[in-house]
């Protein structure tokens, strides 16, 4: 069987669908092709609407969205395979994370809902598709997140260097890889780019603050920062995970109102950037004070001002892009879901119980076989 896998991912930023075609046939994963495909704007707006007001959605709208996202992921898969000049038959499987619509791992009936019907992806592509990665970990008592740490360990662990991997998406998550090879810790630190994006979209009418330039024109409002840092999530010990259900514009605006004093919009942006940097730095200092090197990935790795602040707060820890260690920061997460699909098809666990809090390692996801065959042999 080929060792080419395709990972499909859309994160909480809803900035695009990442597709990463990875060859796992060598000692280290090799990226064959990767691209972020734009969401069709109407589909993106439907997703954003549900994320902003999840209680207002109807079952019918949810079902239709699930189908539409599945079809979109299916077309993205075909486009990626064609652009990579590969044939579908060469792809062992697709790992589709889908689009998270609601993440609630700590409620009465814990769940995490990713939309994007994988039946559609398998039918459109004729390629075995693995999806719904989070559900089994949650069923085993875990957070269902983060799931990337096992992949981070497989790719970035170094017995000579105590490393941590920081993925800055809408939410930021850390994987701690001490050189002693003890248990791997990993958790969501809190907001990554998400709050900055939301504030920027509201005041500047474009999707994000390129290089943190707008933030750079403002100044930190200390009282506001302290108030935001007072959110109990930041004090909660791991395992923990979070999402837009907590860290969203509504939460921010409530906090700003309670904070009283009016601030310039750019000062809020600067303070939000500091919030991301400080919560990451404190988490690292608390749970992995011996870290020598922090490898950064996710869209936030491109935010120059954020990187400068992290560097300053964490000195003498060396900051580097995951690119210096073989994987461009934009594709680590999609590559992780390609790898998780491979784990599933090989019957291997994809979660790390010490990270998610699950009772045991479990094989993640559901398998949607390519037409006519299952990974275990012919159907008929």
Ligand X SMILES: Nc1ncnc2c1ncn2[C@@H]1O[C@H](COP(=O)(O)OP(=O)(O)O)[C@@H](O)[C@H]1O
Among 4, 5, 15, 93, binds ligand X (CB under 6 A): 15
List beta partners, residue 113.
102
Supply the angle between the helices 149-156 and 332-345 in degrees, to the nearest 10. Answer: 100
Query: Of the candidates 349, 311, 309, 315, which has an alpha carbon nearest to the alpha carbon of residue 149?
Result: 349
* Least Å from the CB of residue 169 to ligand X: 3
Binds 302: which of Mg ion, ligand X, none (CB < 5-8 Å by kind): ligand X
Look-up of token digits 């860290």: 247
Q: State the minimum distance, in angstroms, from the CB of residue 73 to Mg ion.
A: 13
Closer residue to ligand X, CB minimum distance, 298 or 350: 298
Q: Which stretch binds ligand X (CB under 6 A): 109-117, 217-225, 260-268, 298-306?
A: 298-306
Q: Any residues with CB less than 8 A from the CB of 119 and at least 6 apart, and which?
A: 70, 368
Question: Beta strands 373-374 and 377-378: pairing type?
Answer: antiparallel
CB of 193 to ligand X, least distance (A): 3
Three-class SS of residue 72?
helix
Min dist. Cβ of residue 89 to ligand X (A) = 30
The footprint of ligand X on residues 312-341 (CB under 6 A) is 333
Which listed residue (146, 169, 186, 357) binds ligand X by CB under 6 A? 169
Binder among 7, 12, 76, 172 for ligand X (CB under 6 A): 12
> Which region, left, alpha or beta, applies to residue 31 given φ > 0 means left and ψ of -120 to 50 means alpha?
beta
In whole angstroms, how close is the CB of 99 to ligand X at the nearest point? 10
Q: Work out the number of other CB atoms within 10 angstroms of the CB of residue 293.
A: 18
Alpha-carbon distance of 357 to 366, in angstroms, equals: 21
| CB 341, min distance to Mg ion, A | 18
Is 300 an interacting residue with respect to ligand X (CB under 6 A)?
Answer: yes
Cα(288)–Cα(270) distance, integer angstroms: 26
Give the per-residue contact string, 207-246, with ligand X (x = CB under 6 A; - = no): -xxxxx----------------------------------
CB–CB of 185/165 below 8 Å? Answer: no
| Per-residue interface string for the shown chain with ligand X, residues 172-211, x marking contact by CB under 6 A | ---------------------x---x----------xxxx
The residues binding Mg ion (CB under 5 A) are 11, 13, 15
CB neighbour class for 257 (10 Å; exposed up to 12, middle 13-18, buried from 19): exposed
Q: Which of 95, 239, 299, 349 binds ligand X (CB under 6 A)?
A: 299
| By the rule CB under 6 A, 298 interacts with ligand X | yes
* Shortest spacing between CB 172 and ligand X, in angstroms: 9
Structure tokens given for 122: 């398998």
Choose among ligand X, Mg ion, none what residue 298 binds, the Cβ cut-off being 5 to 8 Å by kind: ligand X
Measured CA to CA, the distance from residue 250 to residue 256 in angstroms comes to: 10
Q: Quote the DSSP letter at residue 283.
A: H
Q: Which residues bind ligand X (CB under 6 A)?
A: 11-13, 15, 169-170, 193, 197, 208-212, 298-300, 302-303, 333
């Amino acid at each position: 069987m080929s060792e080419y896998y395709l990972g499909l991912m859309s994160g909480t930023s809803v900035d695009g669908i990442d597709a990463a075609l990875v060859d796992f046939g060598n000692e280290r994963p090799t990226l064959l092709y990767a691209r972020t495909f734009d969401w069709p704007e109407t589909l993106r707006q439907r997703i954003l609407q549900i994320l902003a007001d999840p209680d207002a959605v109807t079952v019918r709208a949810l079902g239709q969205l699930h189908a539409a996202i599945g079809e979109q992921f299916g077309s993205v898969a075909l486009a990626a395979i064609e652009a990579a000049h590969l044939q579908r038959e060469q792809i062992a499987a697709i790992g589709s994370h889908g689009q998270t619509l609601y993440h609630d791992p700590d409620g009465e009936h814990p769940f995490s809902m990713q939309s994007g019907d994988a039946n559609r992806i398998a039918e459109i592509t004729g390629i075995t598709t693995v999806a719904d990665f989070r559900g089994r970990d949650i069923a085993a008592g875990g957070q269902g997140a983060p799931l990337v740490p096992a992949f981070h360990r497989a790719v970035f662990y170094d017995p000579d260097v105590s490393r941590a991997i920081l993925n800055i998406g809408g939410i930021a998550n850390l994987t701690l890889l001490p050189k002693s090879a003890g248990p791997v810790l990993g958790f969501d630190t809190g907001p990554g780019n998400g709050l900055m994006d939301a504030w920027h979209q509201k005041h500047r009418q474009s999707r994000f603050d390129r290089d943190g330039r707008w933030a750079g024109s403002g100044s930190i409002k200390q009282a506001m920062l302290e108030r935001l840092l007072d959110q109990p999530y930041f004090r909660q010990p791991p395992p923990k995970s979070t999402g837009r259900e907590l860290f969203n514009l509504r939460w921010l605006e409530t906090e700003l109102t309670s904070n009283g004093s009016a601030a310039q919009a750019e000062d809020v942006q600067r303070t939000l950037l500091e919030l991301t940097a400080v919560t990451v730095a404190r988490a690292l200092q608390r749970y992995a004070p011996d870290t020598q090197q922090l490898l950064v990935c996710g869209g936030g790795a491109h935010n120059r001002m954020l990187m400068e602040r992290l560097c300053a707060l964490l000195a003498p820890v060396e900051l580097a892009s995951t690119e210096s260690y073989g994987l461009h920061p934009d594709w680590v997460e999609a590559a992780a879901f390609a790898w998780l699909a491979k784990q599933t098809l090989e019957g291997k666990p994809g979660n790390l119980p010490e990270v998610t809090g699950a009772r045991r390692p479990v094989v993640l996801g559901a398998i949607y076989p390519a037409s006519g065959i299952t990974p275990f042999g012919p159907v008929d």
